[in-house]
């Protein structure tokens, strides 16, 4: 305990600054040409953007007076809130908008340029606020559930101590690592909520066995050994399953998934260490005082699960069939799940957010594709000082402009300059005004990249429209045909996130196969039963499909007050991975308990009934505690975090109340003496 006090004391300062270097990026497919195209922007110097500005904190009438003083026409202002206005500048007089923004700042107003950078920063800030805003709301209900499930005040405090110590250590490790690798801004929520969830589970399973041992007349020392030998062993297998399951996200093959995999595994590992070192020490210290503050629950609560156990043992086929039907209905809709991370980041914000409204106004005024232009990068054989380069660029510009889905193409030749004139300016043999040179600097850099030309394409459709995605693919093919063998690519948010969506969709089967392999291996090692390992994977797959169906009915179709959006590719695979990992907690606890009764000579049906009677309340109670933890994510203003909350809540409820309560014990009853083959053979049990 003294060692843990020192560890927590050293971890808290690091954990408190963990969000300082977390990144909102890392979604790119590192092998894609879109990433290469975006990377070429470091060589050019685009002119200062004339994007609109969001002005907040002052009345629209005051902004109108300032705009009139700055020389902006009344039509350049658009109201997006009671104290929020979007101001547009004029291409021929950009200084007028600048004067308006400076006047607003002097008056104490908040000014924000409307664009993907500002929206990304807003999403990042809201993500960081999720934990601080949601946990205090969830804590009262969580406290009540802890008291009910643990049965005493002293016992209910144990999981909070374990989860707090584990999460502090995990966040400290993440803070150390974030300076060396790309870690996602979503990681703090995931680490904290995962640590709290598994910390509660593990403390519940071990402390319940400890209290049972005390009730059987064992000394505190003997009870600690008893609880760690049985429940501690089960928790060890469960924790390894969760950590290894989360690690399979490295198969996503980009920085975002590697960071999530590493952070999630660290969280579980730290809680597992606390569970097997700090928790036994606390139990030994408490001794019989673990019953302090006992909560009287009456006798009815203790009758429910034995009755369920008798029903499942007496009618295993009926119980199994009922569970399959309850899971099969939502699973039917799961096949229509479509994942996608939006390129228009503003849709991640609430519909009432002024910045999201400002982006919508920008699309109405400047065109749907103005919020996310495409970047076309070409490395030619000739230099930018050669007229042949600009003749080829002229042909490319004309081909792109002729595409029906293109609204505009920004190119040096778009300003009426001839190829010879542009080449002469780039060579330095033709004089040009500073304005012309600044304009050309947005497309070329003769000193650092003499063969590179960058163009900017605005689509007629929004960045997430299928037509825009098809345009990206057409431009990619066009570049390959016109410049064979040369480095070329189409970048921008639409291209980058289309690559991420396609990469995640392609890698998801590999991730799920890895998770299934982990689940099978852990279950087989933990139980020695081939059938239980196989059925465990099948049951988890059925729950995953049913969870996908519920995501379709809620997120994808816009129920429960949500906006109808495809579940995010950046979060949906995590739901399925955590489902497989967390379900191992309940599976191993239940199966180990059933095996204990089989060792005592009971048949499979009666052992399943007894095992469910003793663990059903504990498993579903732990599940409900985790539901409270995850459902707190619904308080986040970001739909991506709400998707995570809905998915994990549905997965835990389906797993604990249907699979572990009906399907697993029912299938044991149906299989009978073959349920635990080869472990269930007589010679193995006697040995």
Q: What is the mean pLDDT of residues 475-480?
A: 96
Please give the helix or strand (H or E) that residue 86 lies within, else none: strand 84-87
pLDDT at 85 > cutoff 80 = yes
The confidence score (pLDDT) of residue 19 equals 62
Distance CA 391, CA 421 (A): 11
Q: What is the mean pLDDT of residues 543-562?
A: 92
Nearest to 514 by CA among 592, 577, 456: 577
Distance CA 409, CA 490 (A): 13
Buried b (16+ CB within 10 A) or exposed e, 53-62: bbbbebebeb
User: What 3-state class would DSSP assign to 431?
Assistant: coil
Nearest to 377 by CA among 451, 300, 277, 324: 451
Binned at pLDDT 50, 70 and 90, residue 631 comes out as confident
- Residues 443, 40 contacting (CB under 8 angstroms): no
- Residues 461, 9 contacting (CB under 8 angstroms): no
Distance CA 88, CA 53 (A): 7
Q: What is the mean pLDDT of residues 158-187?
A: 81
**Sheet containing strand 488-491, strands side by side:** 406-410, 452-459, 374-379, 488-491
Quickly tell me which residue has 């729950």 as its tokens.
543
Q: What is the mean pLDDT of residues 622-631?
A: 84
SS (H, E, C) 522-575: HHHHHHCEHHHHHHHHHHHHHHHHHHHHHHHHHHHCCCCCCCCCCCCCCCHHHH
Listed by start position, the domains of the chain span: 52-113, 118-343+497-686, 373-491
pLDDT at 567 > cutoff 80 = yes
User: How many Cα atoms are found within 13 Å in the side-chain-facing hemisphere of 535?
Assistant: 24
Burial of 34 (0-12, 13-18, 19+ CB in 10 A): buried
pLDDT at 185 > cutoff 70 = no
Torsion sign (Cα): 60, 62, 65, 66: negative
Residues 6+ apart with CB under 8 A from 186: 127, 260, 570, 571, 640, 641
Binned at pLDDT 50, 70 and 90, residue 24 comes out as low
- Residues 97, 53 contacting (CB under 8 angstroms): yes
pLDDT at 617 > cutoff 50 = yes
- Residues 406, 460 contacting (CB under 8 angstroms): yes
Distance CA 424, CA 485 (A): 27
> Which conformational region is residue 263 in: left (phi greater than 0), alpha (psi within -120 to 50 degrees), or beta?
alpha
pLDDT at 565 > cutoff 60 = yes
Least confident of 36-45, 149-158, 544-553, 674-683: 674-683
pLDDT at 138 > cutoff 80 = no
Rounded to 10°, the helix 301-314/316-334 angle is 90
Least confident of 52-66, 120-134, 148-162, 410-424: 120-134
Distance CA 258, CA 181 (A): 9
Q: What is the mean pLDDT of residues 233-256?
A: 89
Q: What is the mean pLDDT of residues 345-357?
A: 90
CATH class of 373-491: alpha beta
pLDDT at 52 > cutoff 70 = yes
- Residues 248, 514 contacting (CB under 8 angstroms): yes
pLDDT at 687 > cutoff 60 = no
DSSP 8-state assignment for residue 141: H
The confidence score (pLDDT) of residue 682 equals 47
∠ Cα 117 563 501 (to 5°): 55
Least confident of 169-183, 283-297, 566-580: 169-183
Highest mean pLDDT among 10-14, 115-119, 547-551, 681-685: 547-551
Binned at pLDDT 50, 70 and 90, residue 683 comes out as very low
DSSP 8-state assignment for residue 229: I
pLDDT digits (tens, 9 = 90+) for 209-233: 999 899 899 999 999 999 999 999 9
Distance CA 195, CA 188 (A): 10
Least confident of 173-182, 224-233, 425-434, 562-571: 173-182
Binned at pLDDT 50, 70 and 90, residue 16 comes out as confident
Binned at pLDDT 50, 70 and 90, residue 98 comes out as confident
CATH class of 118-343+497-686: mainly alpha
pLDDT at 199 > cutoff 90 = no
Distance CA 522, CA 212 (A): 27
Residue length of the chain = 687
102-107 contacts, C-beta under 8 A, 24 or more apart: 103/66, 103/69, 103/70, 104/55, 104/58, 104/63, 104/66, 107/58, 107/62, 107/66
Pull the structure tokens for residue 119. 């929206």
The confidence score (pLDDT) of residue 433 equals 84
Least confident of 245-259, 506-520, 606-620: 245-259
What's the pTM? 0.86
What's the chain's average pLDDT?
88
């Amino acid at each position: 305990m003294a060692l843990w006090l020192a560890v927590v004391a050293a971890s808290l300062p690091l954990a408190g600054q963990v969000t300082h270097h977390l990144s909102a990026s890392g979604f790119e497919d590192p092998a894609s040409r879109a990433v290469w195209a975006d990377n070429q922007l470091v060589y050019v110097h685009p002119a200062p953007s004339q994007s609109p500005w969001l002005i907040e904190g002052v009345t629209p009438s005051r902004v109108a007076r300032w705009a009139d003083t700055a020389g902006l026409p009344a039509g350049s202002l658009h109201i997006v809130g009671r104290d929020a206005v979007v101001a547009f500048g004029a291409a021929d007089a950009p200084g007028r908008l600048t004067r308006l923004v400076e006047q607003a700042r002097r008056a104490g107003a908040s000014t924000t340029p409307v664009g993907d950078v500002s929206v990304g920063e807003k999403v990042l800030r809201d993500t960081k606020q999720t934990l601080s805003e949601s946990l205090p709301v969830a804590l009262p209900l969580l406290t009540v559930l802890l008291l009910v499930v643990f049965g005493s005040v002293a016992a209910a405090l144990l999981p909070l101590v374990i989860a707090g110590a584990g999460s502090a250590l995990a966040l400290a490790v993440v803070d150390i690592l974030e300076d060396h690798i790309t870690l996602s801004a979503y990681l703090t929520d995931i680490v904290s909520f995962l640590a709290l969830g598994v910390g509660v589970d593990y403390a519940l399973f071990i402390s319940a066995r400890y209290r049972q041992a005390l009730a059987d007349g064992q000394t505190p020392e003997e009870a600690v050994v008893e609880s760690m030998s049985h429940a501690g062993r089960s928790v060890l297998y469960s924790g390894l399953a969760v950590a290894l399951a989360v690690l399979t996200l490295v198969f996503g093959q980009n920085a975002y998934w590697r960071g999530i995999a590493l952070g999630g595994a660290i969280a579980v590992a730290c809680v597992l260490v606390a569970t097997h070192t700090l928790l036994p020490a606390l139990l030994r210290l408490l001794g019989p005082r673990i019953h302090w503050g006992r909560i009287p629950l009456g006798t009815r609560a203790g009758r429910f699960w034995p009755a369920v156990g008798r029903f499942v043992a007496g009618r295993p086929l009926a119980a199994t069939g009922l569970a399959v039907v309850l899971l099969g209905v939502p699973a039917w809709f799961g096949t229509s799940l479509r994942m996608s991370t939006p390129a228009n980041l503003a849709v991640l914000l609430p519909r009432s957010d002024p910045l999201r409204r400002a982006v919508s106004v920008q699309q109405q005024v400047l065109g749907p594709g103005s919020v996310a232009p495409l970047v076309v990068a070409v490395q030619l054989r000739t230099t930018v000082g050669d007229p042949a380069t600009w003749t080829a660029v002229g042909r490319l510009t004309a081909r792109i402009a002729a595409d029906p889905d293109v609204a505009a193409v920004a190119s040096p030749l778009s300003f009426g300059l001839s190829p010879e004139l542009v080449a002469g300016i780039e060579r330095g043999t033709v004089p040009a005004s500073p304005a012309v040179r600044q304009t050309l600097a947005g497309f070329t850099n003769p000193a650092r990249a003499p063969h590179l030309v960058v163009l900017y394409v605005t689509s007629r459709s929004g960045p997430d429209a299928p037509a825009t995605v098809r345009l990206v693919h057409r431009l990619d093919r066009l570049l390959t045909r016109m410049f064979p063998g040369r480095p070329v690519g189409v970048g921008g948010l639409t291209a980058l996130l289309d690559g991420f969506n396609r990469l995640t969709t392609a890698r998801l089967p590999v991730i799920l196969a890895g998770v299934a392999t982990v689940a099978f291996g852990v279950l087989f090692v933990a139980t020695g039963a081939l059938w239980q390992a196989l059925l465990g994977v099948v049951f988890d797959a059925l729950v995953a499909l049913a969870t996908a169906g519920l995501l379709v009915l809620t997120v994808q179709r816009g129920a429960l007050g949500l906006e109808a959006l495809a579940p995010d590719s950046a979060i949906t695979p995590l739901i399925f991975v955590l489902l497989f990992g967390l379900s191992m907690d309940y599976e191993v606890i239940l199966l180990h308990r059933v095996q204990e009764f089989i060792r005592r000579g009971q048949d499979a049906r009666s052992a399943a009934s007894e095992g469910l009677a003793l663990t059903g309340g504990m498993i579903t109670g732990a599940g409900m505690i985790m539901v409270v933890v995850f459902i707190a994510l619904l308080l986040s203003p970001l739909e991506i975090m709400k998707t995570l909350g809905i998915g994990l809540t549905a997965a835990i409820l389906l797993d604990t109340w249907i699979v572990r309560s009906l399907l697993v014990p029912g299938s044991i009853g149906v299989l009978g003496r073959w349920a635990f083959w080869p472990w269930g053979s007589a010679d193995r049990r006697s040995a």
